[in-house]
Amino acid sequence: MKLFSITLLLTVGFCSTAEIPQRKSYDGYKVLDIIPQDQQTVDYLRQLMLNDDSLDFWTEPSYVGKLVQLMISPDRLSHITRQLENHDIRFTTFRENVQDVLEPMWREIDSRSGRRVFDIDDFNTFDDINLWMSTLAAVCRTGFTCEVVNLGNSFENRPINSFRLSKSGESDRRTIYLDSTIHAREWISTATSLKILDNLVRGTTAEALRMVDKYDWVVIPVINPDGYVYTWTSDRYWRKNRRPVGACFGTDLNRNFNVKWGTDGVSHSPCSITFCGPSPASEPEIQAVQAEMHRLSSSAKALITLHSKGQMWMFSWGTTVNHAGSVCERSDDHDDMMVVTDLAADATQRTYGTVWTRGNSCETIYATSGSTMDYGKAGAGIKYTFTLELRGEDWVIDKVYIPMSYLEVWNGVVALVDSMP
């Protein structure tokens, strides 16, 4: 672990001067909406997801009546729609041409090339995020210590940086852990975690002061640096990290933790977007984060990991009983967790009158194994572990929603902190 020396960079922002890259085009890609009417349809779609690596399920098949979203490339479109029709599965088109959403975003971002400055209310590059974290540490609250710590490096040798905010002279305080961007394309999670971190360090409201007075904080804004950089330079919808496995690239890092690895909701095909890796904790990013969780195991009060999309507050477990895929596994403290989750989710949705689903992860969204949240609970012994799926109907979301995402999540986190016994 390396502690960065912090230089005083009290500038307005940081400029990026990289050339405008060539990125993957999603021209002709469509996104279909499917609402399964029976269990047979759910099972068929699930097999399609696990066996066809060319498909990107934006919303995975889980339950009868629960929306499934599927992105299909133009060369596979007629084949897949014909299969759906042959199985009497009805569908509608959610996104006619995915590139139509990407084009204005890239034009706006690329127009700033060479004069880019960090903006807390915008999406920011990986390098600018790291520079900003150093600047933030240099303006730490009086009576507190701020450190930017390198937990380790990614496969492509980028730092996995953690921001630690602690009260000076007090060594026995409890800690709240928060991370984001384990899935590279979930930019709203990155932006939301940065605004939360900024408020913890510089906020002057009674809530902000209470949060730092009560707990120390550890925030990891980008767990997946290589994947995040790749979404800026090459493929906006990239999900995994970038370590090659055979002829394909990347492991789904949120399936790679060493907890019931490779059992529920994963693919063992390296080309799949839910590939769980060749072995438990095989990826350097996960090794670094697991080590940090164990460092915090005796002090951590709660673990919160931010994802998108779908507006959900979830807790462990993500797995099914005996990994049979039919009955979701519940933790022994399920009822305790439900109480605090309801309070946090209620506070979140009161912010803008939105609806936030809440509950056990497997029951709320779908079965998964090897996740951040489950490892925090089973591997590091942290009772209060949560996964949040933030707002948005696409991973490409306008920057105008960043302040809204931040405020509703902040309100939920405050309610959570205040409700934990």
Determine which of 51-60, 202-211, 222-231 has the lowest per-residue pLDDT on average: 51-60
Closest CA to 60 of 298, 325, 381: 325
Q: Quote the pLDDT of residue 13.
A: 39
CA angle 352, 58, 34 (to 5 degrees): 95
Q: What is the pTM of this model?
A: 0.93
Q: What is the CATH number of domain 30-96?
A: 3.30.70.340
392: left (phi over 0), alpha (psi -120 to 50) or beta: left
What tens digit of pLDDT does each residue of 401-410 get?
999 999 999 9
- Among the options 60, 285, 329, 389, which is catalytic? 389
Kindly state the average pLDDT of the residues 336-350: 97
pLDDT at 115: 64
pLDDT above 70: residue 359? yes
Cis omega (within 30 of 0) for bond into 317: yes
pLDDT tens across 215-225, in order?
Answer: 999 999 999 99
Tokens linked to 359: 């509950």
pLDDT for residue 84 is more than 50: yes
Lowest mean pLDDT: which of 346-355, 358-367, 370-379? 358-367
Per DSSP, the residues of 346-370 read HHHHHHHT---EEEEHHHHT----S
Confidence grade of residue 294 (pLDDT, cut at 50, 70, 90): very high
pLDDT of residue 21: 65
Residue listed under structure tokens 């133009």? 74
Contact present, 227 and 189 (Cβ < 8 Å): no
pLDDT at 19: 54
Q: Where in the chain is the domain with CATH 3.40.630.10?
A: 126-419
Question: Is 285 one of the catalytic residues?
Answer: no
pLDDT for 116? 67
Residue 5, pLDDT above cutoff 70: no
Q: What is the pLDDT of residue 196?
A: 98
Task: Kindly state the tokens that stand for 353.
Answer: 């009158």
CA distance 129 to 221: 8
**What is the location of CATH 3.30.70.340 in the chain?**
30-96
Beta bridge partners of 275: 267
Give residue 51's pLDDT.
86
**For range 298-316, the mean pLDDT:** 96
Write down the pLDDT at residue 20.
Answer: 54
* The pLDDT of residue 80 is above 90: yes
pLDDT class of 114 with cuts at 50, 70, 90:
low
> Helix, strand or coil for residue 94?
strand
Question: Which tokens sit at 270?
Answer: 């390296």
Tokens at residue 101, please? Answer: 């959403």
Percent of the chain beyond pLDDT 70?
Answer: 94
| Structure tokens, 322 | 């005996």
pLDDT at 415 over 60: yes
Pick the CATH number of 126-419 from 3.40.630.10, 3.30.450.20, 1.20.840.10, 3.40.50.1100: 3.40.630.10
Q: Please give the average per-residue pLDDT across 159-168, as a whole number.
A: 96
Q: What is the pLDDT of residues 27-77, one digit of tens each?
A: 999 999 999 999 999 999 988 988 899 999 999 888 899 999 999 999 999
Tell me which H or E stretch contains 313.
strand 312-315
- Residue 326: pLDDT band (50, 70, 90) is confident
Q: Is residue 190 within 8 Å of 178, Cβ to Cβ?
A: no
Q: How far is CA 91 from CA 31, 81, 298, in A?
A: 10, 9, 49
Return d(Cα 249, Cα 274) in angstroms, integer. 12
The pLDDT assigned to 3 comes to 45
Q: How confident is the model at residue 10 (pLDDT cuts 50, 70, 90)?
A: very low
Residue type, 170: E
The 10 Å CB-count burial string (b at 16+, else e) for 371-390 is bbbbbbbbbbebbbbbbbbb
CA–CA gap between residue 155 and residue 152 (Å, rounded): 10
b/e 112-129 (16+ beta carbons within 10 angstroms → b): eeeebebbbebbbbbbbb
What's the confidence (pLDDT) of residue 184?
98
